[in-house]
Amino acid sequence: MIISHHHRFIFTAVPKTGTHAVRQALREHLGATDVEQVGLFVNKRFPWKDLAAIPHGHLPLRQVRPYLGEDAFGGYFKFAFVRNPFDRFVSYCAFMLRSGDLFQQRPREVMRHFLFRDPQDHHILFQPQASLLVDEDGRSLLADRVGRVEDMQGSYATMCAHIGIPARPLERVNGSKHGDYRHYYDQALIDGVAARYALDLELFGYSFEGSQ
């Protein structure tokens, strides 16, 4: 997560949505009073002890709200990027087994393992994207705008225009290797992902075939 007091924005880093590329681009515009929490490639921490103790930078908007106060939280432009949950789950499985070739050899077996046999409910990368962007009621979006990985460059340019900073081409950082997500699924896996990430599908307008 990045909080820019200078440009009055909050960027929420949803895992597996190109967040490291966005971070790199946004850092070029941060001022001396702006803050970031991140734990991969670089290690930065927020100035608030409780938040700084969290070992990653994927913080929910509702969690930082009390530290900023209602005036700042309500007045800052809050944005994030989201991704088709079916594509994101494939990326998650490939990422988790990136040190070997098991996913490439037996992708559906790996997907069934993480989805049905041993779901990593407490792993921030496995949790629904909406969990970082909704209020305490679990349904109301706190983000003012969400961009889409499917149009990453265009979405980033739109965010920059709103913030008032120049956009530049985003680099690919920390990506996982896999093909078109549709090729990895059977009906049981489609139904399983649809059930687990139902709120993501509803809030962000995705289906197995793409975005609505």
How large is the average pLDDT for residues 85-109? 96
Cross-strand bridge partners of residue 79:
11, 145
Q: Is the pLDDT of residue 166 over 80?
A: yes
Distance CA 122, CA 58 (A): 13
Q: Is the pLDDT of residue 182 over 70?
A: yes
Q: Where does the pLDDT of residue 183 fall: very low under 50, low under 70, confident under 90, or very high at 90 and above?
A: very high
- Position with higher pLDDT, 170 vs 175: 170
Tokens coding 204: 């962000």
Cβ contact 129:200 at 8 Å: yes
Torsion, Cα of 124, 83, 57, 167 (10° steps): 180
Cα dist from 84 to 128, 129, 164, 165, whole Å: 11, 10, 28, 27
Structure confidence at residue 172 (pLDDT): 80
Q: Is the pLDDT of residue 149 over 70?
A: yes
How large is the average pLDDT for residues 195-204? 98
How large is the average pLDDT for residues 83-106? 96
For 23, residues 6+ apart whose C-beta sits below 8 A from its C-beta are: 2, 11, 13, 36, 38
Domains with residue ranges and CATH for the chain = 2-211 (3.40.50)
- Burial class of 28 by CB neighbour count within 10 A (0 to 12, 13 to 18, 19+): exposed
Mean pLDDT computed over every residue of the chain: 95
Structure confidence at residue 114 (pLDDT): 97
Structure confidence at residue 210 (pLDDT): 86
Distance CA 110, CA 194 (A): 17
Q: Where does the pLDDT of residue 212 fall: very low under 50, low under 70, confident under 90, or very high at 90 and above?
A: low
Q: Is the pLDDT of residue 174 over 80?
A: no
DSSP the chain: -EEETTTTEEEE--TTSSHHHHHHHHHTT--TT-EE-B-SSS-B--SSHHHHTSSSS---HHHHHHHH-HHHHHHSEEEEEE--HHHHHHHHHHHHTTTSSHHHH-HHHHHHIIIIIS--TT-TTTS-GGGGTB-TTSSSB--SEEEEGGGHHHHHHHHHHHHT----PPPP-S------GGGG--HHHHHHHHHHTHHHHHHHTEETTEE-
How large is the average pLDDT for residues 167-182? 84
